[in-house]
Structure 1
């Protein structure tokens, strides 16, 4: 199978906003958009998106994983960006419609169908720098994906940056391309200079998250992660891991913690990144101010292994879903 996110189905769901109303959801072929050079999104980054998965269980049944949380997060992103957006019911229907159209292309476990709902401003006006777009496009693109770690799950090397910011203090909760673009330079530089896989943004010495995933630390029976204060993305996978950790007996602490505390506790514990694509990925080394701190023994720890396996089993339908996270495909 092609690299994650580079293979697409032949159909997508789309709706257009103009003159104060949305058009009916339509199933159309996946093909390039035609945009005027003055289109709002090209100049003022008026866009947001989501990423979630649909799975084919061993029984053959198809389900979406926590689509309600992704819909709610997209509604929040659109509100923060002042973008028009279809209502909650329509967004949910669009996701089911997109999956139902390509059921034959959904891979079996460990593969899945990745969904990318996207919203962007389409008004043709380069003078609208301080005014939201009055036109918009919403669509749901789908991509059959295999195991994100087809070559084997390997602990990451992560640079801890206590100066750079991933986003502005109250805009980190918005899933918009601008936040990813702002983090990219730091990530590429860390890769080139240190061989790092990611950057853990910790402005002012307070640990936040990496450029593309939430961050957790597990040590001494406690799981610690940055609280949802607007500066970090309210990750759906993060929420799942916190619930599973609490049920497994870990003390879950959503609180601010410093780089100093992280580096002190990491050698005796575990650290990981959480996100839709990679689920839970272990961190083996932390790089800070010319020093390399090994996390635990450098390998994936027992808690990380347990939590990842539990979540994957629920996602794929191999384990009981007492949380109600799996939503059967509504055709």
Structure 2
């Protein structure tokens, strides 16, 4: 792409930026610039640009506001001890956005253009990438919206792809802690032929009421079951699940109606290298409860871009509770191995890391 750049004449002051990077939180502060490129059937992808971060001007009839034609990605940039900055498997995010675009009837942004757009914004706002202290990083949010002004149920003929970025602190302040889970027996996240495997905002919107239910029950996250039989574990509101068995096998629910997480796929490879067979298959809620009770399941953990890997604690439902398995040894080993690769403290034998500069 030919990317034009308009610099922000009022960037965040250095002293204020230092305060932000000392305690960035998550998704609260945003960098000085943003990336934009547009698409129409006649011109294809065009007018790629980096401009000062700021509000968008949208007509009230903009299609995304009415028909939710939207996709997004989530990824991070990491500063290594030598000052270099790297992203983790950006090509995998680009490929997943292509799959999401196909499901949402969007034009496909080529993988190389996706990676170039992310790299360009990171390079422009390099000073916003924090050091690795406390697992800090720069969270990157690429997204695509139907930006055509029209009312009517059809794919948009004007599409906008953007990238914004936000410094992020460690997901767990004070150390990694098990998350308690609530089993929703009323709500499902997706069904066969639906949008569950696409990373689109509607999937997350549909999870919110169930997440409210979980919080009301004193739990951190919600567990969704399949919509057909209501017996097979799918995923959490924003994370994938793994079940470690006494013989070292690891089972993770098969995809198709759930999002194929980049962290999920990486753990499958990493666990295999550590000597653990990973099975992707249907996994019932009864197998979960019975396995914990018998000691067959010795660890349970969840994964996602924000939390990386987290142990799973108690599972609660109306009228019952399954305790957390006693061990977190493999969970923490996998987590540390992955984080060490991301921050350059361990050799990247998988070729996952992409150097921005």
Answer whether TM exceeds 0.5 for this pair: yes
In the alignment, which residue of structure 1 is the partner of 2:38? 16
Structure 1 partner of 2:26: 4
1:42-88 Cα shifts (integer Å, max 9, x gaps): 00001000000111101111111100000000011011101124322
Contact 1:163 1:202 in 2 (8 A): no
Partner of 2:204: 180
Q: Give the alignment of 1:80-159 within 5 angstroms.
A: 80-109=103-132, 110-126=135-151, 128-129=152-153, 131-159=154-182
Matching residue of 1:321: 348
Structure 1 counterpart of 2:219, from 190, 196, 202 = 196
- The 1-side partners of 2:318 and 2:291 are apart by 17
- C-alpha distance in structure 2 between counterparts of 1:214 and 1:66, whole Å: 18
Indicate the SS of the match to 2:348: coil
How far 1:89 moved relative to its partner? 1.6
User: Aligned partners of 1:158, 1:118: CA distance in 2, in Å?
Assistant: 29
Within the candidate set 270, 291, 308, 2:299 is matched to 270
Return the alpha-carbon distance in structure 1 between the equivalents of residues 66 and 171 of structure 2. Answer: 33
Q: CA deviation at 1:247?
A: 1.3
Gaps of 5+ in 2: 1-22
| CA distance in structure 2 between the partners assigned to 1:47 and 1:7 by the alignment | 23
Shift of 1:162: 4.4
Whole-angstrom CA distance in 2 between matches of 1:8 and 1:301? 35
Query: For residues 27 and 5 of structure 1, what CA distance do their matches in structure 2 show?
Result: 20
Q: State the shift of 1:148 in Å.
A: 1.4
Q: Give the SS at the match of 2:120.
A: helix
Deviations along 1:5-58, one digit per CA (max 9) or x if unpaired, are: 111101011111235322232111110000000000000001000000111101
Alignment partner, residue 314 of structure 2: 285
Tell me what 1:43 maps to: 66
Q: Is the 8 A contact 1:85 1:138 kept in 2?
A: no
Deviation, 1:151, is 3.3
TM-superposed CA distance for 1:186, in Å, is 0.6
* TM-score, length basis structure 2: 0.88
Q: Is the 8 A contact 1:121 1:137 kept in 2?
A: yes
User: Where does residue 310 of structure 1 map in the other structure?
Assistant: 337
Give 1:202 deviation, angstroms.
1.0
Check whether the contact 2:196–2:203 (CA below 8 A) recurs between aligned residues.
Answer: yes
**CA distance in 1: counterparts of 2:268 and 2:88, whole angstroms:** 16
Displacement, 1:163?
4.5
User: Which whole-Å CA distance do the structure 1 matches of 2:310 and 2:220 have between them?
Assistant: 11
Which of 231, 234, 253 lines up with 1:208 in the alignment?
A: 234
Specify which of 276, 284, 289 is matched with residue 258 of structure 1.
Answer: 284
Give SS of 1:84's match.
coil
Kept in 2, the 8 Å contact 1:83–1:132? The answer is: yes
Q: Does 1:243 align with 2:266?
A: no
Residue 270 of structure 2 contacts residue 334 of structure 2 at CA under 8 Å; is this kept in 1?
Answer: yes
Is this contact kept in 1: 2:24–2:167, CA < 8 A?
Answer: no
Per the alignment, in what secondary structure is the counterpart of residue 243 of structure 2? strand
Distance 2:237 2:46 in 1: 35
* TM-score (structure 1 length as normaliser): 0.95
- Give 1:102 deviation, angstroms: 1.1
RMSD of aligned Cα (Å): 1.3
